[in-house]
Amino acid sequence: MKRQELIVSALDHGTVIDHIPCDRLFEVINLLHLDQMTSKVTIGFNLKSQKMGTKSIIKVADKFFTDEELNQLSVVAPDVTLVIIRDYEVVEKRPVSLPTELRGIVHCDNPKCITNNEPMATLFHVVDKQQGIIRCHYCNHEQDIRKVKLV
């Protein structure tokens, strides 16, 4: 019988980002600036998943992201799983969590907000983690995190 397995070489050192919704994969790639990476990056798209139907997965060799970088992921893909690998061993497996502040990631959907009219970084405060409500630091406009656009 043919094994239903991903034909990708195992990672000796690095980070695996699993359970990425397929429609969010390219946003995750942009968010982590994977296009500028010099180490080996493996991307799986439209893979079968028992949990999600289809999913995407990213393996990044020799790279351990900061908590801040990884928590930004929660904006585009709140249900991803992070797997940290050292010497072929899984040393850590955890979900991402929404940080209390989002700087320079999310676009404010208020067209009259100063951030949409000046060359400046946006800043949002997470006001309700459960409901996913974030508030613009500048115009106070609230947004649903599931509907945000990235800058």
Partner 1 sequence: MLNRSLVTIADHSREKIEYLIRMAQEFERHPNRLLLQGRIVATLFFEPSTRTRLSFETAANRLGARVIGFADPKVTSGTKGETLKDTIMMVSNYADVIVMRHYLEGAARYASEIAPVPIINAGDGANQHPSQTMLDLYTINQTQGTLDNLNIYMVGDLKYGRTVHSLLMAMRHFNPTFHFIAPDELAMPEPYKQYCRDHNIRYVEHQDFDADVIAGADILYMTRVQRERFTDLMEYERVKDRYLLKLDMLAKARPNMRILHPLPRVNEIEYSIDDDPHAYYFQQARNGLYARQAIICDTLGITLEQIQNDPTIIS
Q: Give contact residues for partner 1 (rule: CB under 8 A).
A: 110, 112-115, 117-120, 136-142
Nearer to partner 1, 51 or 112 (CB): 112
- What residue has token string 């949990």? 51
**Complex with partner 1: residue 96 or 124, whichever CB lies closer:** 124
Which residue, 41 or 139, is less far from partner 1 as judged by CB?
139
SS3 at position 146: helix
CB of 124 to partner 1, least distance (A): 12
C-alpha–C-alpha distance, residues 77 and 24, integer Å: 7
Q: Which two tokens stand for residue 21?
A: 């919704």
Cβ closer to partner 1: 49 or 116? 116
Spatial neighbors of 133 by CB under 8 A, at least 6 apart, are 126, 127, 142, 143, 144, 145
Report, in Å, the least distance between residue 112 CB and partner 1. 5
Q: How far is the CB of 138 from partner 1 (least distance, A)?
A: 3
Q: How far is the CB of 103 from partner 1 (least distance, A)?
A: 13
Tell me the closest approach of the beta carbon of residue 121 to partner 1, in angstroms. 10
CB-side exposure of 82: number of CA atoms within 13 Å?
23
Contact 13, 86 (CB under 8 A): yes
Q: Which is nearer to partner 1, 27 or 142 (CB)?
A: 142
**Distance, C-alpha 112 to centroid of its chain:** 28
